[in-house]
Chain A
Amino acid sequence: MRKALEGSQAIAQTVALCRPQVVAAYPITPQTHIVENIAKLVADGKMQCELVSVESEFSAASLVLGAACAGSRTYTASASQGILLMSEVLYNIAGLRVPMVMTCANRAISAPLSIWNDQQDSMAVRDAGWIQLYCADNQEAVDTTIQAYRIAEKTELPVMVCVDGFTLTHTLEPIDLPEQEMVDNYLPKFNFKRVLDPANPISIGTLVTPDFYSEVRHTHHHALLNALAEIEQANLDWQKVSGRSAGGLLSVDGPENAHIGILTIGSIYGTLSEARDESNDLPATKLIKLRAYRPFPAKALRHACAGLTDLIVLERALSPGFGGIISSEVQAELASMKKIPRVHSFAVGLGGRDIPLSIFRTLHQKINVTDPQPFSIIDVELEKLPAEDFGIDEVNHA
């Protein structure tokens, strides 16, 4: 049924539909409303689960790890500094191959302190061994959260559902929340095979000597690669019952013969899509919406980029001292193509900077150059900075 819901409210109600038995979270902007809404659902008797108030994100992650090992379906959510504080446990959850779902309400990382949206937080735990799925709108956040439980429990890998803080979590829009029966049929009861049970004791998290460590890492790496198929299948199956796709590994929209592509991640997609519709004077442009970032869908990406002369990679974080995070991976994966598109790498919308419709035109202007320029952050206003902070490129040009 189509309802007017704030993103956080929709995510909380969706989590309830997935029937987790244990939820633990520590409030942090912009994730807070998700936890508040879950607490209210529990208090009102509309959600049956053990909701545990904890003293930190480290404890939140530790608690759901323990509960999941004991066989419970679990949920947590965090953002920014909270993700960093729980990062040690995030590696443990993934390394122990414990299935669970968490929402990352994407937010910038301190310092300087910013409560606003970018994706530096989830990028910081890119290598923790979790599946990471990014949502372009709140309907995708709803559908992806449900799919995430299915994917996690089939692959025995934890899934982080990334939703842009404020831009999605605090936006009210029409959302189709599925019926409980539909979710129950799609999501079988959680039955963890390696459950900690005193009647049938096993050990987990033991010391692994050099004799076996490489093998464990190999297994984890391949489990993630194998999860590519499960991510696609979970979406196809959900599409069959709900009529909606949340985008599989990635989705491509635009004219077949377009030579320019823009790869995006998260909620910037809608703005670019509408800007493209209003810019008929600019060259035809394909929009590639990356949903699965870990595992990285290399094959699907090469397929999406076939025929492109230029690919703009637009990301919401950076690796200081290097440049684009996603763009470097994209370049590596496109290197095996016969005709490799030129890759242009930009970060945009850092720390909540608004991304206006004019971004589409700006990008087309920026790539109209003989050679791709090095990575840059779009929309930096140099007049706000002292000359010594202008950067090497600007100084050389001056």
Chain B
Amino acid sequence: MIEIRIHGRGGQGNVVAAYLLATTAINEGWHAQAFPAFGAERRGAPVIAFVRINHQPIKRRCQVESPDFLIIQDEALMNISGITDGLKSDGCILLNSAKSCEQYAAEHHAGNINHVLNKNLITLPATQLAQQYLGRPVPNTALLSAFLSLTGILTHDALIQSFKERFSGNVLDKNIDLINAAEHTIPANLWKTTANA
């Protein structure tokens, strides 16, 4: 079973990202589950959402304690204590940041950033990509597209299909362009071993 924890802030589309990822998996024949852990319901507050993807039906409903993957929609959240709690030793972090992986690694030497050194932390300028394609600083679509590239277990076509079920018109078209753009900004299948473990 693949377990993913998504960290973001209220208004960044955290829960929608979790739902879209699980929907994509379900549409490709997997079993999947997505749910939020809301704090106070207000914009800007830290929000967590969880996704599980499995070949077998998923019965557990507890929060994800030891994720295989973290998707972090706001770089500043990396400074919150406990953000990488429970991440598996071979787990991977996809971080929304305008800095390159090397630059980010050079600036951070503390505990949880060890992941940078062994290529288990990948940065993506998701806010900038969103601003460019959507005209809004909502990082979730670009991060989802990059996550699919990195893990290689779900197709981008299936992701686009999930967007079609939820959005339409101009919003849908712009998001599809963004998915296609973000797909190739990241080394494909870099995390495939972890995803298949």
Q: Are B36 and A170 in contact (CB under 8 A)?
A: yes
- A:332-383 near B, CB below 8 Å: 354-357
- A:152-172 near B, CB below 8 Å: 166-167, 170-172
- A:244-287 near B, CB below 8 Å: 267-268, 270-271, 273-275
Q: Is A307 an interface residue (CB 8 A)?
A: no
Q: Are A354 and B19 in contact (CB under 8 A)?
A: no
Q: Nearest residue in B to A169 (C-beta to C-beta)?
A: B35
Q: Nearest residue in B to A7 (C-beta to C-beta)?
A: B35
Contacts of B106 in A (CB 8 A): none
Q: Is B41 an interface residue (CB 8 A)?
A: yes
In angstroms, Cα B61 to Cα A273, docked, is 11
Contacts of B41 in A (CB 8 A): 29, 115
Shortest distance from the beta carbon of A197 to any chain B beta carbon, whole Å: 45
Contacts of A275 in B (CB 8 A): 60
- Kindly supply a per-residue 1/0 record for chain B positions 59-89, scoring 1 wherever the CB is within 8 Å of any chain A CB and 0 otherwise: 1111101000000000000000000000000
Q: Are A172 and B34 in contact (CB under 8 A)?
A: yes
Contacts of B180 in A (CB 8 A): none
Shortest distance from the beta carbon of A157 to any chain B beta carbon, whole Å: 30
Shortest distance from the beta carbon of A344 to any chain B beta carbon, whole Å: 21
User: If the complex has contacts A29-B41, A355-B62, are A167 and B26 also in contact, measured as CB distance less than 8 A?
Assistant: no
Q: Which of A115, A173, A274, A356 has the most CB of B within 10 A?
A: A173
Shortest distance from the beta carbon of B18 to any chain A beta carbon, whole Å: 8
Contacts of B23 in A (CB 8 A): 4, 172
Q: Nearest residue in B to A359 (C-beta to C-beta)?
A: B62
Q: Are A271 and B26 in contact (CB under 8 A)?
A: no
Q: Are B19 and A6 in contact (CB under 8 A)?
A: yes
Contacts of B27 in A (CB 8 A): 4
In angstroms, Cα B26 to Cα A150, docked, is 31
Q: Are B60 and A274 in contact (CB under 8 A)?
A: yes
- B:1-43 near A, CB below 8 Å: 15, 18-19, 22-23, 26-27, 31-36, 38, 41
Contacts of A267 in B (CB 8 A): 61
Shortest distance from the beta carbon of B35 to any chain A beta carbon, whole Å: 4
Q: Is A2 an interface residue (CB 8 A)?
A: yes
In angstroms, Cα B36 to Cα A29, docked, is 14
Q: Are A171 and B38 in contact (CB under 8 A)?
A: no
In angstroms, Cα B27 to Cα A172, docked, is 13
Q: Are B59 and A271 in contact (CB under 8 A)?
A: yes
User: If the complex has contacts A4-B23, A29-B41, A172-B22, are A270 and B59 also in contact, measured as CB distance less than 8 A?
Assistant: yes
Q: Is B58 an interface residue (CB 8 A)?
A: yes
Shortest distance from the beta carbon of A165 to any chain B beta carbon, whole Å: 11
User: If the complex has contacts A2-B26, A4-B22, A267-B61, are A166 and B31 also in contact, measured as CB distance less than 8 A?
Assistant: no
Q: Are A271 and B61 in contact (CB under 8 A)?
A: yes
User: If the complex has contacts A29-B41, A166-B38, A172-B22, are A4 and B32 also in contact, measured as CB distance less than 8 A?
Assistant: yes
Q: Are B31 and A270 in contact (CB under 8 A)?
A: no
Q: Are A357 and B62 in contact (CB under 8 A)?
A: yes
Q: Nearest residue in A to B65 (C-beta to C-beta)?
A: A356
Q: Are A357 and B60 in contact (CB under 8 A)?
A: yes
In angstroms, Cα B56 to Cα A270, docked, is 13
Q: Which of A4, A115, A270, A357 has the most CB of B within 10 A?
A: A4
Q: Are A167 and B31 in contact (CB under 8 A)?
A: no
In angstroms, Cα B27 to Cα A4, docked, is 8
Contacts of A268 in B (CB 8 A): 61
Shortest distance from the beta carbon of B124 to any chain A beta carbon, whole Å: 24
Across the A-B interface, give the 3 residue pairs with the lowest CB-CB distance, nearest first.
Answer: A270-B59, A4-B23, A4-B26
User: 4 other contacts beyond A4-B32, A167-B61, A268-B61, with CB at 8 A cut-off?
Assistant: A172-B18, A173-B22, A173-B32, A355-B61
Give 20 A-B contacts (CB < 8 Å), ordered by A residue. A2-B26, A4-B23, A4-B32, A4-B162, A4-B165, A29-B41, A115-B41, A137-B59, A167-B35, A167-B61, A170-B35, A170-B36, A173-B32, A270-B61, A271-B62, A354-B63, A355-B61, A356-B62, A356-B63, A356-B65
